[in-house]
């Protein structure tokens, strides 16, 4: 049979009706799940990263650009989720609209979105935990073996400042941190004065992944309750930071608003100016990946035709407003350049400690809330990935072990354990920035195909009931494809090459195993 064979909507819905997954989620729970997945590392870590790497204070515009792309894709997701309320998200939608091979490709890319997303956030969780504990965890045991820390102090600091004034080293407690690029420029004599620490394994990241895996195995309803509590706490803290930080904004930090051309370390179109804004959008896009995770729980929603659009679009709207305000305050209180050196890790806590005197209590509160918030993001990402695997396994594209449910809790427990091993490997041994950028690629690729899928479905199945219809078709889906494709192009070359290797590996697995084991192939 052809690799373009499609699964009928009727077969998909019939398969969902025979599932043992419990319908326990209402509209409020779905919005909370969306916010739980959205507000996390993307806001508290990637904002500073995008500002220092590409957009400067213009990261606020980057969030708006990313949100526009998400809005187009979100409207398309809402139509699919209401029309085809099954677990599997973009994978299931692609199977109906574009056939098995495309469905496999999108399912494989969703691993980059959910699994690597969970790994990225667990790495950020480790950073903030270490900050809360006063950096008492040895660098070697909370960082990847591919990461190094370059610290200088005393006479060495003075000499390097005199020899390289362009570094503008930020000094905290008489210790400064060099970037890898800065260290590479030092002559041998000065390089010997730098203390270099190397990572071995990120143990805290593994700990949080294990705890949340056990919670997910316990049950979806219990996970949703814990998530709702965490969402309330972290949204409250975000609002407090915006309110308190607003009076510490220094307008000088907005001048210039975008990174100027020829700025050191910012070579390339997507590293400065308006190109940097687009590059920043590709980086902070990671911050929006949560809303589509809502669609993976469609088989566990009480009234999916009504509640799925509310959950997807409601969580996206709320978070976009918070993101723009948060980024405006963060880059107004501290200059964007500080986030590439001493303010690189636990950036929000660093800004409060350094630039907001008298609010040390807020630093601790923010760190605790961020840890809780990251936990909810990891929870939803792991849940989303296990549900995608559940759908792929039911179709025979991956081994049936991924669809086996716990006899008591009715959760895909074996899939959860396999995910823990896979995600834990990335979290323990891969740097957070690489995992985060690959996550953005997987998400954007899924958004492009879902947007294109709406155009195809309107042509191939015009009469199927649509409880929610994407407005302004074909304009909205086309814009979704264009904006998300532009952000894929804006990702760095290394990420695109790594993503290409990942996709080639996926195709090898498809033709070696999935194609001949597909249930459609056996019919």
pLDDT at 218: 80
How high is the pLDDT of residue 87?
63
- 3 state DSSP class of 86: coil
**Backbone angles phi and psi of 88, in degrees to 5:** 120, -20
- 217: confidence class by pLDDT, cuts 50, 70, 90: confident
Residue 151, pLDDT > 90, answer no
* pLDDT score, position 43: 76
Asked if residue 298 has pLDDT above 70, the reply is no
185 CB-near residues (< 8 Å, 6+ apart): 164
Distance CA 347, CA 358 (A): 18
Residue 64: pLDDT over 70: yes
249-265 pLDDT, tens digit each: 999 999 888 888 877 77
Structure confidence at residue 297 (pLDDT): 66
Q: What are phi and psi of 86, to 5 degrees?
A: -130, 160
What residues are paired with 177 via a beta bridge? Answer: 151
Q: Which of helix, strand or coil describes residue 176?
A: strand
pLDDT at 206: 93
pLDDT digits (tens, 9 = 90+) for 95-121: 888 888 888 988 888 887 778 888 888
Report which of 248, 249, 276, 247 is spatially closest to residue 262, judged by C-alpha positions. Answer: 276
Taking the C-alpha atoms of residue 229 and residue 233, their distance in angstroms, rounded to an integer, is 7
Report residue 296's pLDDT band, with 50, 70 and 90 as the boundaries: low
**Region 229-245 average pLDDT:** 86
Q: Percent of the chain, pLDDT > 90? A: 13
Between β-strands 171-172 and 148-153, what pairing exists: parallel, antiparallel or unpaired?
A: unpaired
Give the pLDDT band of residue 172 (cuts 50, 70, 90).
Answer: low
State the pLDDT confidence band at 182, using cuts at 50, 70 and 90.
confident
Helix (H/G/I), strand (E/B), else coil: 381: helix
> Residue 221's CB: how many other CB atoms inside 10 A?
14
Rounded mean pLDDT of 234-246? 89
* pLDDT mean across residues, the chain: 81
Q: What is the predicted pLDDT for the residue at 354?
A: 87
Class of domain 9-138+203-522: mainly alpha
pLDDT at 158 over 80: no
> What's the confidence (pLDDT) of residue 441?
84
Residue that wins the pLDDT comparison between 444 and 247: 247
Check pLDDT > 80 for residue 140.
yes
The answer to whether residue 373 scores a pLDDT higher than 90 is no
Q: Is 297 exposed, middle or buried (0-12, 13-18, 19+ CB in 10 A)?
A: buried
pLDDT (0 to 100) of residue 483: 85
Q: Taking the CB of residue 497, how many other CB atoms lie within 10 A of it?
A: 10
What is the model's pLDDT at position 341?
Answer: 73
Whether the CB-CB separation of 372 and 350 falls below 8 Å is answered with no
Looking at the predicted structure, is the pLDDT value of residue 79 above 70?
yes
Put residue 332 in one of left, alpha, beta given phi > 0 → left and psi -120 to 50 → alpha: alpha
Contact 290, 35 (CB under 8 A): yes
Distance between CA atoms of 445 and 90, rounded to whole angstroms? 10
Least confident of 293-302, 327-336, 370-379: 293-302
Residue 22 is predicted with a pLDDT of 61
pTM as predicted: 0.71
pLDDT band at 247 (very low <50, low <70, confident <90, very high): very high
Q: Using the predicted structure, report yes or no on whether residue 1 has a pLDDT greater than 70.
A: no
Alpha-carbon dihedral sign for residues 429, 433, 436, 442: negative
Give the model confidence (pLDDT) of 387-417 as tens digits. 888 888 888 889 988 888 878 877 788 888 9
**Looking at residues 377-388, what average pLDDT do you find?**
82
Q: Evaluate whether 32 touches 224 at the Cβ level (below 8 Å).
A: yes
- Spatial CA neighbour of 157 closest among 172, 138, 136: 172
Q: Please give, one letter per residue, the 3-state secondary structure of 303-329.
A: CHHHHHHHHHHHHHHHHHHHHHHHHHH
Helix locations, 164-201, DSSP H:
180-185, 188-191
**Which of 454, 342, 400, 410 lies closest to 72, judged by CA?**
454
- Domain map of the chain by residue range? 9-138+203-522, 148-198
Q: What is the mean pLDDT of residues 207-235?
A: 80
Tokens of 32: 């909370």
Residue 168 has pLDDT above 80, yes or no: no
Is residue 46 within 8 A of residue 287, CB to CB? The reply is yes
Three-state DSSP at 144 gives coil
pLDDT digits (tens, 9 = 90+) for 10-63: 776 676 565 555 666 677 777 777 777 677 656 777 788 888 888 888 999 999
Spatial contact of 40 and 376, defined as CB atoms under 8 Å apart: yes
Quick one: DSSP state of residue 142?
B
CA–CA separation, 195 and 453 (whole Å):
53
| pLDDT of 484 above 60 | yes
> Average pLDDT of 156-165?
75
């Amino acid at each position: 049979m052809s690799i373009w064979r499609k699964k009928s909507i009727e077969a998909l819905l019939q398969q969902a009706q025979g599932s043992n997954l419990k319908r326990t989620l209402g509209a409020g729970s779905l919005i909370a799940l969306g916010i739980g997945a959205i507000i996390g590392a993307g806001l508290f870590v990637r904002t500073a990263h995008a500002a220092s790497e590409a957009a400067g204070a213009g990261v606020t515009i980057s969030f708006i650009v990313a949100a526009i792309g998400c809005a187009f894709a979100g409207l398309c997701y809402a139509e699919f989720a209401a029309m085809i309320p099954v677990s599997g998200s973009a994978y299931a939608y692609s199977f109906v609209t574009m056939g098995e091979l495309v469905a496999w490709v999108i399912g494989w890319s969703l691993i980059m979105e959910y699994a690597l997303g969970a790994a990225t956030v667990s790495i950020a969780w480790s950073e903030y935990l270490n900050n809360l504990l006063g950096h008492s965890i040895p660098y070697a045991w909370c960082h990847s073996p591919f990461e190094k820390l370059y610290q200088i102090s005393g006479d060495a600091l003075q000499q390097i400042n005199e020899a390289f004034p362009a570094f503008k080293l930020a000094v905290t407690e008489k210790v400064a941190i060099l970037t890898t690029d800065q260290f590479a420029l030092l002559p041998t004599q000065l390089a010997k004065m730098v203390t270099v620490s190397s990572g071995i394994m990120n143990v805290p990241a593994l700990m949080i992944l294990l705890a949340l895996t056990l919670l997910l195995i316990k049950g979806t309803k219990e996970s949703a309750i814990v998530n709702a509590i965490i969402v309330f706490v972290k949204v409250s803290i975000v609002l407090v930071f915006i309110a308190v930080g607003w009076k510490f904004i220094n307008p000088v930090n907005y001048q210039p608003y975008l990174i100027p051309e020829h700025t050191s370390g910012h070579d390339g179109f997507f590293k400065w100016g308006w190109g940097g804004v687009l590059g920043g959008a590709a980086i902070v896009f990671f911050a929006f990946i949560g809303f589509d995770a809502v669609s993976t729980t469609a088989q566990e929603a009480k009234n999916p035709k009504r509640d799925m659009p509310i959950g997807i679009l409601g969580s996206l709207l709320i978070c976009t407003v918070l993101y723009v305000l948060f980024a405006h305050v963060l880059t107004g209180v501290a200059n964007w350049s500080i986030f590439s050196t001493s303010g690189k890790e636990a950036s929000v806590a660093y800004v409060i400690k350094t630039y907001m005197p008298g609010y040390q209590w807020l630093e601790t509160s923010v760190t605790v809330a961020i840890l809780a918030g990251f936990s909810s993001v990891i929870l939803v990402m792991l849940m989303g990935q296990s549900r995608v695997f559940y759908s792929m396994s039911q179709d025979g594209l991956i081994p049936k072990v991924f669809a086996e449910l716990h006899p008591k809790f009715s959760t895909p427990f074996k899939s959860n354990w396999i995910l823990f091993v896979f995600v834990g490997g990335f979290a323990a041994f891969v740097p957070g920035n690489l995992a985060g950028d690959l996550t953005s690629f997987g998400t954007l690729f899924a958004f492009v195909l879902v947007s294109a899928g709406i155009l195809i479905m309107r042509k191939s199945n015009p009469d199927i009931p649509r409880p929610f219809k994407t407005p302004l078709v074909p304009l909205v889906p086309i814009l979704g494809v264009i904006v998300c494709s532009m952000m894929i192009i804006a990702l760095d070359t290394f990420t695109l090459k790594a993503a290409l290797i990942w996709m080639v590996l996926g195709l090898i697995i498809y033709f070696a195993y999935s194609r001949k084991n597909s249930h459609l192939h056996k019919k």
